[in-house]
Each structure stands twice: as C-alpha cells, then as structure tokens.
Amino acid sequence: MRQVMVGLAALAALAGGAHAQQGEIRIGEINSYSGLPAFTEPYRKGWQLAVEEINAAGGVNGKTLVVVSKDDGGKPADAVTAANELLSRDKVDMLAGAFFSHIGLALADFAKQKQVFYLAGEPLTDAIVWSAGNKYTFRLRPSNYMQAAMLADEAAKLPAKRWATIAPNYEYGQSAVKVFKELLSKKRPDIEWVGEQWPPQGKIEAGPVVQAVAAMRPEAILNVTFGPDLVKLVREGNSRGLFKDRSVVSFLTGEPEYIDPLKEETPEGWIVTGYPWNTIKTDAHNAFFKAYEAKYKDYPRLGSVVGYALVKSAAAIMTKAGSTDTDKMIAAAEGLAFETPFGPAQFRAIDHQATLGAYVGKTAVKDGKGVMVDSVYRDGKDFLPSDADVKAMRPAN
C-alpha cells in the first residue's frame, strides 16, 4: 500500500510539473513569516492581492500566475533548502522574496549557482546588488544606501556634532550604519562619532543599551532597530530620558509595522523613513489603497506595498520577456519600467537595483497613535551612486 501511495504521489508531482509548464507560470516565494509576522503577514496580503488582480486581467502571457510560498524560519540554510524544493519539486519559474539581508544574500548566491532568476523584495543590504551582485539577482526596495542618503540629507541640517549609533548586529544593521556614517561625514566633516551599540537582532537588552548610549553624551543618535527591539528601546529610552533634547534619525521607524505598536509612547520629532498611508493622495496609491481595503477590511502596511509591487513587477518582467527562460527574463528586467503604489519605478540595467523610493518625515503622536508628519516622497533614482562608483563596487558577471 505504501508503494502505491508513493507512486501516486510521484505521478501527482509529475502531473503538477506538467500542468505548471502548460497552463501556469509559477513564482517561488520565500520569506520569514514565522520570524517577523508584523511585516510579512501584510506583505503576504499584498502579493495575494496582486496575484488576484493579474489573473482577473488574463494572467501572464495568457497563463495563470501561481505563487508557491515557503517560510524560511529566519535561517539562511532553511531558505536555501526551500529554494531547492521550489525548483525541483514545485517547478517554479523564478524565485522571489526574503526579508532579512543575510537570507537575501544566501538566496542571491543560490540563484547565481543554479542560474535562476531571483527577485529580492525586502532585503536592504547594499551587497545584494553591489559587492555581491550577480546577473541573476534583482532588488525591489530602496537599499540601505538609498535610505541612508535620504536621511543624511536631513541629518546634515541638524546642529548636532556628536553622534552615537544603535543597530542590530547582523548584515542589515552593519551595512546601514556604515553607509550612513560615510554619507553624513561627507556632508558634515565636523561630525564626531562617539560610540556604537550592537544589540543582537530580536534580543535587545534595552536598559544596558540606553545606559551605554547616554554615557557617550551624544547630541544625536542614529537608530536602526525595528520591530519588538524598537518598542523596547523606545520604552526604556523614554523612561530614562535618552531622547530628551537629542535629535534622532531612524531607519524604517515610520513604517506602520513599527510605529503602530509604539502608540502613545512614540517619541516625537524623530527623522524617519516610512509609509504615511493615510496622507498619500496620488492616483496610484488611491487605487491600491481602495483595492486592499476592500479585500482585507484593513489599511495597508509597508509590507503590503512591497508584496504587491514585488509580484506586479515580476509579472511585468515575464510579460515583457514573453517567456520564463531565465536569460530572456534577465534581458527583459534590465531597464524595465513598472508601476507601483508609490508611482513609476525602473530596474536599473547597471546593477539591477529598482528606483522605487521612500517617504521621509518626522514622528508625532495623534489621538494616542504614532504617525508620520511632514512626509515627502523621495524618488529612489535621485539617491543612488554614480555609474562609475557602481562599476567599481560590482563584480563582473
């Protein structure tokens, strides 16, 4: 009986592969759903909405778009295992997704080794398109460099000269601090970096971190923590007066995933990148917002935008290629213009980085909730290094 069941399973797998080739186009999506649900659950809803809209409009090149999704558990090895399964068993046509930067790098290397197209959605490390870039990997979100450049423009206007940094001790945090320090120091050579704190991601001991930073006597702080770590840092920092009369510049804090849990404890006046969903009035965002709200009876988060734009851009790549052949998709993606809820963007041919931008503004409290105010959209194309710099950083494919 067991042999019969195994045989039937094998036949079903073969039939599924054949069906995928004949009537479906499949994206293999991998993310840290169990590791950071505050971001990845809205992200999942975003890509599910995109799939629904694409198929309602006739699919991709006349075929039904299917996303086969797997959880990487926040571990690079598990992500690579999932990628292998998606290719060998699920017969996907491209890989997409990832949240954490070190996982994105692992998948980018896997894509290079297996010569498969990989569209990274969330990983922000600059390495994924520059020092570790390869012809098979493209990235959607504005990178650490891009967001650091946006924030450095505002930070340079502050009178503060003594700066301290707080960031999670892994690829994303290390990369963000490095590039922000470089960009701000170029704009303000008078700045002194007085110290750093590197708590482990997801395991911050906020009391000692706050105490150590206060002892540095900075006039301004760069924060790169997010999620539950951010909540703990803000709570402890508020109680100990760390942020009083100090400027704070903070990556990602204006995203609803991270500012909503702060509620009335949200510190006011931080300069942040984020997503002020309730104040964006463009046609592109209005259409996305109405569709998302109608389907989920909820407002979108930044993850929702990323998931939606990820699948929409993937579909645009395959439509232009007219094929799921990897080399044809790469050729189609290089220079491809596509639409997002934030407006038009493009995958640059030189480094495969998208020009999707981000909103920059300040934190405030309104009706007992944390919000972004004075926010302005910064187009990603205006915050990227020169072609010469990219060529110097990126290895030849």
**302 located within any domain:** yes
Question: Is residue 269 domain-shared with residue 156, that is, in the same domain?
Answer: yes
- 3-state DSSP percent of the chain in helix, strand and coil, to 5: 50, 20, 30
Checking if the pLDDT of 140 tops 50, the result is: yes
**210 located within any domain:** yes
How many Å apart are CA 119 and CA 98, to the nearest integer?
9
Question: Is residue 219 domain-shared with residue 364, that is, in the same domain?
Answer: yes
Checking if the pLDDT of 116 tops 60, the result is: yes
**396 located within any domain:** no
Token code pair at residue 79: 């992500």
How many Å apart are CA 284 and CA 308, to the nearest integer?
12
Token code pair at residue 67: 């996303």
Q: Are strands 220-223 and 247-254 parallel, antiparallel or unpaired?
A: parallel
Is the separation of the CB atoms in 175 and 385 below 8 Å? no
Of 12-26, 183-197, 229-243, 325-339, least confident by mean pLDDT is 12-26
Sheet with 220-223: strands ordered across: 192-197, 162-166, 220-223, 247-254, 271-274, 358-366, 369-378
> At 9, is the pLDDT very low, low, confident or very high (cuts 50, 70, 90)?
very low
Token code pair at residue 165: 């940094």
**231 located within any domain:** yes
Question: Is residue 265 domain-shared with residue 239, that is, in the same domain?
Answer: yes
Q: What percent of the chain has pLDDT over 90?
A: 93
* CATH number of 37's domain: 3.40.50.2300
What is the extent of the structural domain holding 62?
A: 2-141+281-356
Task: Report the helix count and the strand count for the chain, using DSSP H and E.
Answer: 13, 14
Token code pair at residue 104: 């994105």
Q: What is the pLDDT of residue 35?
A: 87
Q: What is the pLDDT of residue 5?
A: 34
Question: Is residue 345 domain-shared with residue 363, that is, in the same domain?
Answer: no
Question: Is residue 293 domain-shared with residue 214, that is, in the same domain?
Answer: no
Question: Is residue 203 domain-shared with residue 261, that is, in the same domain?
Answer: yes
Q: What is the DSSP letter of 354?
A: B
Q: How many CB atoms lie within 10 A of CB 355?
A: 18
Q: What is the pLDDT of residue 12?
A: 39
* Residues facing residue 364 across a β-bridge: 371
Task: Give the pLDDT confidence of 41-90 residue by residue, as tens digits.
Answer: 999 999 999 999 999 999 999 999 999 999 999 999 999 999 999 999 99
Question: Is residue 112 domain-shared with residue 16, that is, in the same domain?
Answer: yes
**132 located within any domain:** yes
Q: Which of 123, 87, 82, 86 is nearest to 105 (CA)?
A: 123
Is the separation of the CB atoms in 118 and 95 below 8 Å? yes
Question: Is residue 165 domain-shared with residue 250, that is, in the same domain?
Answer: yes
Question: Is residue 237 domain-shared with residue 267, that is, in the same domain?
Answer: yes
How many Å apart are CA 183 and CA 78, to the nearest integer?
35
Q: Residue 86: phi, psi to the nearest 5?
A: -65, -40
**291 located within any domain:** yes
> At 4, is the pLDDT very low, low, confident or very high (cuts 50, 70, 90)?
very low
Q: What is the DSSP letter of 68?
A: E
CA angle 361, 126, 202 (to 5 degrees): 70
How many Å apart are CA 87 and CA 92, to the nearest integer?
5
**389 located within any domain:** no
C-alpha 237: how far from its chain's center? 26
How many Å apart are CA 326 and CA 93, to the nearest integer?
8
Task: Give the pLDDT confidence of 200-228 residue by residue, as tens digits.
Answer: 999 999 999 999 999 999 999 999 999 99
Q: Is 312 left (phi over 0), alpha (psi -120 to 50) or beta?
A: alpha
> At 397, is the pLDDT very low, low, confident or very high (cuts 50, 70, 90)?
low
Q: How many domains does the chain have?
A: 2
**344 located within any domain:** yes
Question: Is residue 125 domain-shared with residue 202, that is, in the same domain?
Answer: no
Question: Is residue 181 domain-shared with residue 206, that is, in the same domain?
Answer: yes
How many Å apart are CA 53 and CA 44, to the nearest integer?
14
Q: What is the pLDDT of residue 395?
A: 86
Question: Is residue 28 domain-shared with residue 134, that is, in the same domain?
Answer: yes
